[in-house]
């Protein structure tokens, strides 16, 4: 890390808020954004949908041509720029990059086109002329560059549910390489708008449910029975500390360390040893000891073995008297490629208010998920919070950890 890189803007949308202030308030108040939604072919299922103004930053014609993921990315990117106080007319747009992590992309639009094909006697001549640009993997990042007139590099990072962290990491690396001076980076997901992902998790027996739909997502709870699929987005504006200070920008925190690796062991079952290695690698880059980390945010999806394996890993690294542990998916469900970026953002205000938001919906803690300083069901106030570590893990065994320090 030969440059000090800081976060100066955050734009987000989630099932519990369309900006950081709303998001944080509802995290602290232990509110759930999970609701019952009608899923094509599958009936009513718990899901987390966002309610943001898709036309705040783009015209209806452009939205019809683009994608749901693109509309989320455009909203978040514009909000991040406004939050950062960045005047795009004063920035070299060749040196502004857009790097967005994804779990999957294009399924929403493709499923709709196939559905319409079957409503029209399989007349393929009615297939959308917009199919190709909608479904290429770089689409959400590309839509942001078109919307904002950004001419620097853009691409997406296919990294399953580690996508939010990986998008941020990619932005950091591009600045370190000197490819860009500023980056819009993080993750987005439009997953609940497609029935395919519901059907797939249902086939795996991994869809969460509860008689109270707001409790369908309950990580670490003894009665948990799977994930709740959600959408969302969170993009950060990042730049060097020197640039931020020159602009007089507010600073959310410094990106002190990061790491990513692969399990190389299973399609879906996480590997505790590789997760431990990933966290140690991030701590080493940040030049920190485990007890110097104040908050660890778990990936904690609400699957039985996923939660157990991750808690085992986190306990091996952070079982001390100082580090608090929380999680976010009880509030919003699993926002897939957006999860890591959203969950990190939700903890950054702790630097200012000294509060640790809780993980919610733990009716009875699974004994195999018990650990020191686990913050559940109610926020706590603690001493000064200076360091946050965020974990995000994904299918095919991709692991990521990001460390942010208060300045």
Q: Rounded CA gap, 37 and 45, in Å?
A: 5
**Residue range 206-264, pLDDT digits in tens:** 999 999 999 999 999 999 999 999 999 999 999 999 999 999 999 999 999 999 999 99
Catalytic annotation, pick one of 210, 334, 357, 369 = 334
Residue 197 structure tokens: 């992902």
Domain 257-405 class, CATH top level? alpha beta
Catalytic one among 161, 221, 234, 278?
A: 161
Domain ranges of the chain: 5-247, 257-405
Return the H-helix or E-strand segment holding 282.
helix 272-286
- Vertex 175 angle, CA 385 and 145, to 5°: 105
Q: Can you name the residues that pair with 233 across neighbouring β-strands?
A: 13, 188
The angle, 0 to 180 degrees and rounded to 10, between the axes of the packed helices 20-28 and 339-347 is: 80
Structure tokens at 133: 């640009």
What was the pLDDT predicted at 115?
93
Asked if 161 is an active-site residue, the reply is yes
Domains 5-247 and 257-405 share a fold: yes
Between 139-148 and 68-84, two packed helices, what is the crossing angle to 10 degrees? Answer: 50
DSSP for 237-259, please give it.
Answer: EEEEHHHHHHHT----EEEEEEE
What is residue 116's predicted lDDT score, i.e. its pLDDT? 92
Q: Evaluate whether the domain defined by 5-247 bears CATH number 3.40.47.10.
A: yes
Helices (H), 137-240: 139-148, 163-177, 195-203
- In this prediction the pTM is 0.96
Catalytic residue (choose from 154, 210, 237, 299): 299
Per-residue model confidence as pLDDT tens digits over 115-160: 999 999 999 998 999 999 999 999 999 999 999 999 999 999 999 9
Tokens describing residue 147: 């919307």
CB–CB of 252/16 below 8 Å? no
For the chain, how big is the Rg over CA atoms in Å? Answer: 20
**Binning pLDDT at 50, 70 and 90, where does residue 383 land?**
confident
Q: How far lies 26's CA from each of 21, 168, 317, in Å?
A: 9, 24, 29
Whether 76 is a known active-site residue: answer: no
At how many degrees (to 10) do helices 163-177 and 339-347 cross? 80
Q: How far is CA 86 from the centre of its chain?
A: 23
């Amino acid at each position: 890390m030969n440059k000090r890189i800081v976060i100066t803007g955050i734009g987000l949308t989630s099932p519990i808020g369309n900006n950081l202030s709303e998001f944080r308030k509802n995290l602290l108040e232990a509110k759930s954004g999970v609701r019952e939604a009608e899923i094509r072919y599958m009936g009513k299922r718990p899901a987390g949908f966002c309610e943001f103004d898709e036309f705040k930053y783009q015209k209806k014609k452009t939205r019809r041509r683009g994608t749901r993921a693109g509309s989320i990315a455009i909203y978040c990117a514009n909000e991040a720029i406004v939050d950062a106080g960045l005047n795009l007319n004063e920035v070299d747009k060749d040196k502004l990059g857009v790097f967005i992590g994804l779990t999957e992309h294009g399924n929403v639009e493709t499923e709709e086109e196939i559905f319409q094909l079957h409503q029209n006697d399989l007349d393929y001549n009615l297939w959308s002329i917009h199919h190709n640009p909608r479904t290429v993997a770089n689409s959400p990042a590309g839509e942001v560059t078109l919307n904002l007139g950004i001419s620097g590099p853009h691409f997406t990072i296919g990294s399953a549910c580690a996508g939010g962290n990986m998008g941020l990491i990619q932005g950091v690396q591009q600045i370190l390489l000197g490819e860009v001076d500023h980056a819009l980076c993080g993750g987005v997901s439009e997953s609940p708008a497609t029935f395919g992902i519901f059907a797939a998790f249902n086939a795996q027996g991994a869809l969460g449910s509860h008689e109270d739909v707001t409790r369908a997502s309950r990580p670490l709870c003894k009665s948990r029975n799977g994930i709740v699929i959600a959408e969302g987005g969170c993009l950060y504006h990042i730049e060097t500390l020197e640039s931020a200070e020159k602009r007089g920008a507010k600073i959310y925190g410094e990106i002190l360390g990061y790491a990513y690796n692969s399990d190389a062991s299973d399609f879906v079952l996480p590997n505790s040893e590789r997760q431990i290695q990933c966290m140690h690698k991030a701590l080493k880059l940040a030049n920190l000891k485990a007890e110097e980390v104040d908050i660890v945010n778990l990936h904690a999806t609400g699957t039985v073995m996923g939660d157990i394996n991750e808690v085992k890993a986190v306990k091996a690294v952070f079982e001390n008297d100082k580090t608090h542990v929380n999680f976010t998916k009880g509030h919003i469900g699993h926002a897939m490629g957006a999860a890591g970026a959203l969950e990190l953002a939700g903890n950054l205000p702790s630097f200012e208010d000294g509060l640790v938001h809780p993980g919610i919906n733990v009716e009875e803690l699974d004994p195999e998920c018990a650990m020191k300083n686990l913050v559940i069901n109610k926020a706590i106030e603690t001493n000064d919070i200076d360091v946050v570590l965020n974990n995000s893990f994904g299918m095919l065994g991709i692991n990521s950890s990001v460390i942010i320090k208060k300045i």
